[in-house]
């Protein structure tokens, strides 16, 4: 439960933390056709994997590239924020369990992703889940423009209408197997092809109706 306060603060006077403290963070693999390889079939149902709450990083926090892995990749994503407990719900019920959406960047270490048996460090290393800056409510989640910029250059662009599995379908599918609790986050997949980043790069995830999630790449 939450309610609006009559207090206001200048953004320059505060630090915006990650918008929730989730019990779990789930992400989707291959949810945009242009992210799949030409020989990769379209998945019949959403393909979730786990990130970790400890992966999450606040708006304007520093993504830390591990010293053992150069050239980590960005992935702009719409992130679903669960507002009400969801267990075995239908797609028609799903949005009543969603409080809103925010911006996310599913940072990925591609060498580890290809060569490890599991994606635990490729997707779940500390700071590999920038999220924020806040939760937006009341948006049309079926029609949101998504853009990612690196040092001002557009690297990714799409609209949520291009998702293979839309947000209600995804929330419903996950809830059949994993109970979603208030504050839990679902990263909904990234479009197109991604590239490696250089230390010092400024990465911005800009989603229509939400705003801009901004993070810089540093070295661990």
- How much is the pLDDT for 137? 96
Q: Which range among 17-21, 37-41, 136-140 shows the weakest confidence by mean pLDDT?
A: 37-41
pTM greater than the 0.85 cutoff: yes
- How much is the pLDDT for 38? 82
Q: Rounded distance, CA 44 to CA 3, Å?
A: 39
- How much is the pLDDT for 35? 93
**Percent of the chain's residues with pLDDT above 70:** 100
Q: Rounded distance, CA 89 to CA 172, Å?
A: 5
How confident is the prediction for the chain on average, in pLDDT? 96
- How much is the pLDDT for 3? 84
CA distances from 149 to 102, 136, 204, 216 (A): 17, 21, 5, 12
37 pLDDT band (50/70/90 cuts)?
A: confident
Express each pLDDT in 174-198 by its tens digit.
999 999 999 999 999 999 999 999 9
Report which secondary-structure segment, H or E, holds 171: helix 167-175
């Amino acid at each position: 439960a939450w309610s609006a306060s009559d207090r206001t603060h200048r953004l320059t006077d505060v630090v915006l933390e990650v918008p929730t403290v989730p019990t779990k963070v789930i992400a989707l693999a291959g949810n945009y056709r242009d992210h799949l390889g030409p020989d990769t079939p379209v998945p019949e149902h959403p393909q979730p994997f786990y990130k970790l709450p400890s992966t999450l990083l606040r708006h304007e926090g520093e993504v830390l590239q591990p010293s053992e892995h150069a050239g980590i990749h960005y992935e702009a994503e719409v992130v679903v924020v669960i507002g009400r407990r969801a267990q075995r719900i239908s797609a028609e019920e799903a949005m009543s369990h969603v409080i809103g959406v925010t911006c996310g960047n599913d940072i990925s270490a591609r060498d580890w992703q290809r060569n490890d048996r599991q994606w635990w460090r490729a997707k779940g290393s500390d700071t590999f889940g920038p999220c924020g800056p806040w939760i937006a409510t009341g948006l049309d989640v079926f029609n949101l423009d998504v853009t990612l910029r690196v040092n001002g250059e557009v690297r990714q662009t799409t609209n949520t209408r291009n998702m293979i599995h839309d947000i209600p379908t995804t929330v419903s599918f996950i809830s059949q197997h994993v109970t979603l609790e208030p504050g839990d986050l679902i990263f909904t997949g990234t479009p197109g092809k991604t590239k490696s980043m250089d230390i010092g790069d400024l990465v911005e995830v800009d989603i229509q109706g939400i705003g801009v999630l901004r993070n810089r790449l540093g070295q661990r």
